[in-house]
């Protein structure tokens, strides 16, 4: 069945391209791939593992938003990976994972791909993917050292948003952001043969795993690539919505070495490590 996600195919792609025997689960219907993965981590499931959902009914976005996905329409994936936090910070991970999504999209010959800080991917100014990263401590074994944590990397990639009941919902369909999907972008480019969803899912999984395997040595290089090629917000006027709902306005200057957003506000620079960014329309 073209387009259906199959565990055996996903395992084979990873084994052949990344040389990793990965534990793969495909759920026909699930509340949230991230929630399921966090529960599996708590239960002691060996890392790494990945799960996909054909249909997700209570998917999570950042800051309490929901990401609902109708059956066999888009890609909902959560990869659980062990990181040693005594040797590395995860501050650069969201942008690195976003670069993995960029690699997947550009391999499909999509153009105009950018990353909106801190964890969204846009195509021609419209959202096509989002990332949610959550952590769960790993119980140390007697012979282990360091500070291992299970990091669950959730990725939602829009493949076919035509049902319109899919997307990030925060209070109702009227709050859906300006979105796009792979099928729409193919149609705009007059591509006759659209690559199947299962192929895209395999490519995405391969690229995200590659980022995780090489994160410690490549994170600074990933940051520089984001800065020079893919920063959607830089030099644009934005509203910053803080955790306490306060809104401040300014112009984005870029990000610092810790991937914190730098914004010029009333002639002074401020940095933000957690906020929602609303980019104002260009005049």
pLDDT tens per residue across span 233-277:
999 999 999 888 899 999 999 999 999 999 999 999 999 998 899
The answer to whether domain 7-230 and domain 237-279 are alike in fold is no
Higher pLDDT, 77 or 89: 77
- pLDDT tens across 82-105, in order? 998 877 789 999 999 999 999 999
- Mean pLDDT along residues 57-79: 74
- pLDDT tens across 111-168, in order? 999 999 999 999 999 999 999 999 998 866 544 546 789 999 999 999 998 875 444 4
Architecture in CATH for domain 237-279? Roll (2.30)
Angle between the N-to-C axes of helices 197-213 and 93-107, in degrees from 0 to 180, rounded to the nearest 10: 140
Q: How high is the pLDDT of residue 86?
A: 74
- pLDDT tens across 8-27, in order? 999 999 999 999 999 999 99
CA-to-CA separations, 259 to 92, 170, 236, 275, in angstroms, rounded = 6, 26, 17, 12
For domain 7-230, the CATH class is alpha beta
pTM of the model: 0.91
Q: Where are the domains of the chain?
A: 7-230, 237-279
């Amino acid at each position: 069945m073209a387009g259906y996600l199959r565990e055996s195919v996903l395992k084979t792609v990873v084994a052949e391209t990344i040389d990793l025997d990965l534990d793969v689960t495909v759920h026909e219907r699930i509340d949230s791939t991230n929630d399921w993965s966090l529960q599996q981590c708590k239960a002691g499931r060996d890392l790494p593992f990945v799960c996909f959902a054909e249909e997700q009914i209570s998917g999570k976005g950042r800051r309490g938003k929901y990401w609902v996905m109708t059956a066999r329409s888009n890609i909902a994936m959560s990869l659980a990976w062990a990181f040693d936090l005594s040797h590395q910070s995860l501050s650069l991970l969201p942008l690195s994972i976003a670069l993995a999504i960029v690699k997947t999209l550009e391999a499909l010959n999509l153009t105009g791909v950018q990353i909106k800080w801190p964890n969204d991917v846009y195509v021609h100014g419209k959202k096509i993917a989002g990332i949610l990263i959550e952590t769960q401590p790993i119980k140390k074994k007697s012979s282990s050292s360091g500070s291992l944590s299970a990091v669950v990397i959730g990725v939602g990639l829009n493949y076919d948003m035509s049902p319109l009941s899919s997307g990030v919902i925060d209070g109702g369909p009227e709050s859906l952001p300006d979105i796009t999907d792979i099928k729409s972008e193919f149609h705009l480019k007059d591509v006759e043969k659209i690559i199947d969803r299962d192929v895209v899912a395999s490519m995405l999984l391969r690229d995200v795993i590659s980022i995780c395997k090489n994160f410690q040595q490549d994170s600074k290089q990933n940051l520089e690539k984001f800065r020079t090629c893919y920063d959607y917000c830089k030099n644009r006027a934005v509203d910053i919505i803080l955790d306490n709902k306060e809104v401040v306005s300014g112009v984005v200057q870029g990000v610092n070495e810790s991937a914190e957003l730098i914004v010029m506000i009333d002639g002074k620079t401020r940095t933000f490590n957690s906020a929602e960014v609303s980019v104002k329309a260009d005049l």
